Structure 1
Amino acid sequence: MSDGRRSIPCYRDLPDGDAAGVFGDDDVLGSLNRLTDERVVDAAALVRTGERFSLSAPLSWPDPPLYGRAPLEHIIVRTALGNRDDVLHNFHPQGSSQWDAFTHIRDPELGWYNRREVEDLGIETWSRRGIVGRGVLVDAAHHRAVWGRPLGWRARDTVSVDDLVAMMAADDIERRPGDVLLLRTGWTAGYQGADDATRLAVKSDPTSPGLEPTAEMLEFLWDWGVSAVASDNISVEALPPDGFVLHPHLLNRLGVPIGELWWLDALAERCRSDGRFESMLVSVPLDLPGGVGSPCNAVAIR
């Protein structure tokens, strides 16, 4: 397949599903290379009403924090000049709506993305370019409910390739190279509506729905030509892991950024109201040299 001026091999032609060298031996951006200037211009043409939807949760959410993190502590201090200033303690860049950088996890067999040194792959490489393109919302929670197979937000319920194809067909969504897939599983809505005891249980038991972790899913996403995948759940893929895990394949082998815990409910409601499931997506991660993740700082513009 062709992606701008570059010929991109199909997934089945990638040895061991490894895209090393596809975007150049020195590449540190992975599938973000698919967000060409021309595709950014095309995404800008999607803006019709000027409506903006923040896809970022508060930095202090989820509450309590997941994976044993300490709660964010926000202190306001006075400077020597008498101005007010912020100080954050226990700030985990991956604690709320986030991006996983290529350094977040290491492939146990092949190492880091594109065989680069870990020091070369910090989140700053994405920040200095920005992530701007066509965001495509797939509302899996809605469709599965309509089909009589609702996604349980506290269950390891999987969204298959066949599900994605059917959902996109139902919403008349055309797949285009460079798309950022925004997957709504309903996890955020479930968590927000839960009582304190249930939220506390989530802290130590992150069982949740998500993409089905299979080689078929990797092939579908790569051959679609996604530049990134983001979801409203804990890990994009269903949890807990059950053998095959998408994370090292997406991050380290294919160079596909992963976004997690994004707030997609308001955007989904608006998309359903007018039947338009595409928007201009703008995200600027933190310019944190060597960072392994960042708040997503994302907005969908319609």
Structure 2
Amino acid sequence: MADSIPKFTDLPIDKNGPHHNAWGLYGKDDELGTLNRLTDDIVKAASSEIQTGVRIGLDWPLDAQKDLPFFGRQAFHKEVYQKPPRIVNDDRWSFNTQSSTQWDGLRHFAYQKEALFYNGVTIDDIHGTNGKEKSNVNGIGAWTKQGIVGRGILLDYHEWCIKQGREHHAFETGNISAADLKQVAKDQGTEIKFGDIMLIRSGYMVAYNKLSRSEIETARAKQPLTFTGLEQSDETMEFLWSNFSAAGGDHPSFEAWPTQKDWSLHEVMLGGWGMPIGELFDLEAVAAHCKKTAKYSFFLSSEPCNVPGGVASPPNALAIF
């Protein structure tokens, strides 16, 4: 299947578009991007990962960051109310879709200089401004037709760093290289297969859970916010492009933040390839199970919320072993 896509060195596909784009690979109206790699055959093969039936949820609680989400996002709010005279409750939820575990959708981040989203969609196409008709194009609802389902792999970078005697500073701008991630996979004994859904345990959740409220407030007030994440480099892009249908991790920015280049991975992955980016995945329980069983691959099932025109969504994700 890997030979069904252009080589990284052949990008951009649309020579009139931004750098490293894959526009038109699956048609000019495509809204699935690299999720097209999750063919029936690849999903069927991934089902062989289910050997014990153990299921582990990957979603952090929606209210995990309480009233202090990073990036100025709105906190989760829940209201439970009675419906007298019956003994019945209903509830209302309101939240920013990126205040806890999330998939970033294709409306989230455009190429900044060109102001273009995946397949050349503009901000006017989305908002119906400057004479354009408002639409649901590139909305995350398109992903719900088949979900994000396939072979998941955990790259436990945090555990690997401990063994290497390396320190990880989650709240400082720092780079996780493609070379290190490949080494993590090798040392774990994890084979990377085309179409995999990669999740990286960076150690962010471990660091976050050690912080007091005042320390979170200090980190949240920092401008710009700083996080360790994937390195912005050709090597990283080639690693992502050549292997995965989606990629995510336990940290809030996925990539090193702020970007160390005049471009970001968000631009290329979301705007260029249509590759979902997962952030704030709770990987602690699944990492413990992987370490115990020495098996770092699993069947992953994720059903984003069916919101036409949505920007992002909780993943509603399960790792099944």
Length-normalised TM-score, structure 1: 0.93
Gaps of 5+ in 2: 13-18, 127-135
Give the conservation status (yes or no) of the 8 Å contact 1:281–1:301: yes
Q: Please report how far the alpha carbon of residue 52 of structure 1 lies from its aligned counterpart in structure 2 after TM superposition.
A: 0.9
Q: CA offsets, 1:160-205, max 9 Å, x none?
A: 0110111111112111111001001010111112112112223223
Counterpart AA for 2:44: V
Could you tell me how far apart the structure 2 residues matched to 1:201 and 1:240 are? 17
Could you tell me how far apart the structure 2 residues matched to 1:22 and 1:70 are? 36
Give the conservation status (yes or no) of the 8 Å contact 1:138–1:182: yes
Equivalence for 2:295: 276
Equivalence for 2:211: 194
Gaps of 5+ in 1: none
Could you tell me how far apart the structure 2 residues matched to 1:111 and 1:71 are? 29
Cα-Cα RMSD:
1.6
Could you tell me how far apart the structure 2 residues matched to 1:181 and 1:204 are? 31
Equivalence for 1:11: 8
Q: 2:93 aligns with which of 88, 95, 98?
A: 88
Q: 1:76 aligns with which of 39, 59, 80?
A: 80
Counterpart AA for 2:38: L
Q: 1:55 aligns with which of 25, 35, 58?
A: 58
Equivalence for 2:15: none
Counterpart AA for 1:92: N
Counterpart AA for 1:152: H
Counterpart AA for 2:76: L
Q: Please report how far the alpha carbon of residue 80 of structure 1 lies from its aligned counterpart in structure 2 after TM superposition.
A: 6.9
Give the conservation status (yes or no) of the 8 Å contact 1:67–1:204: no
Q: Please report how far the alpha carbon of residue 151 of structure 1 lies from its aligned counterpart in structure 2 after TM superposition.
A: 1.4
Equivalence for 2:137: 120
Equivalence for 2:241: 222
Q: Please report how far the alpha carbon of residue 240 of structure 1 lies from its aligned counterpart in structure 2 after TM superposition.
A: 2.2
Report the CA distance shift for 1:253/1:196 in structure 2 as closer, same or farther (over 3 A): same
Partner SS for 2:70: coil
Equivalences for residues 175-194 of structure 1 within 5 A: 175-194=192-211
Q: Please report how far the alpha carbon of residue 104 of structure 1 lies from its aligned counterpart in structure 2 after TM superposition.
A: 0.3
Partner SS for 1:58: coil
Length-normalised TM-score, structure 2: 0.88
Partner SS for 2:103: strand
Give the conservation status (yes or no) of the 8 Å contact 1:230–1:258: yes
Q: 2:306 aligns with which of 272, 276, 287?
A: 287
Equivalence for 1:296: 315
Q: Please report how far the alpha carbon of residue 207 of structure 1 lies from its aligned counterpart in structure 2 after TM superposition.
A: 1.8
Equivalence for 1:246: 265
Q: Please report how far the alpha carbon of residue 67 of structure 1 lies from its aligned counterpart in structure 2 after TM superposition.
A: 2.0
Could you tell me how far apart the structure 2 residues matched to 1:81 and 1:121 are? 44
Could you tell me how far apart the structure 2 residues matched to 1:31 and 1:292 are? 17
1:42 matched to 2:59? The reply is: no
Q: Please report how far the alpha carbon of residue 157 of structure 1 lies from its aligned counterpart in structure 2 after TM superposition.
A: 2.1
Partner SS for 2:73: coil
Give the conservation status (yes or no) of the 8 Å contact 2:75–2:99: no
Partner SS for 1:60: coil
Identity of aligned residues (%): 36
Q: 2:252 aligns with which of 205, 211, 234?
A: 234
Partner SS for 1:99: strand
Q: Please report how far the alpha carbon of residue 81 of structure 1 lies from its aligned counterpart in structure 2 after TM superposition.
A: 7.2
Q: 2:32 aligns with which of 29, 48, 51?
A: 29
Give the conservation status (yes or no) of the 8 Å contact 1:97–1:260: yes
Equivalence for 2:283: 264
1:142 matched to 2:159? The reply is: yes
Could you tell me how far apart the structure 1 residues matched to 2:51 and 2:183 are? 27
Could you tell me how far apart the structure 1 residues matched to 2:313 and 2:218 are? 25
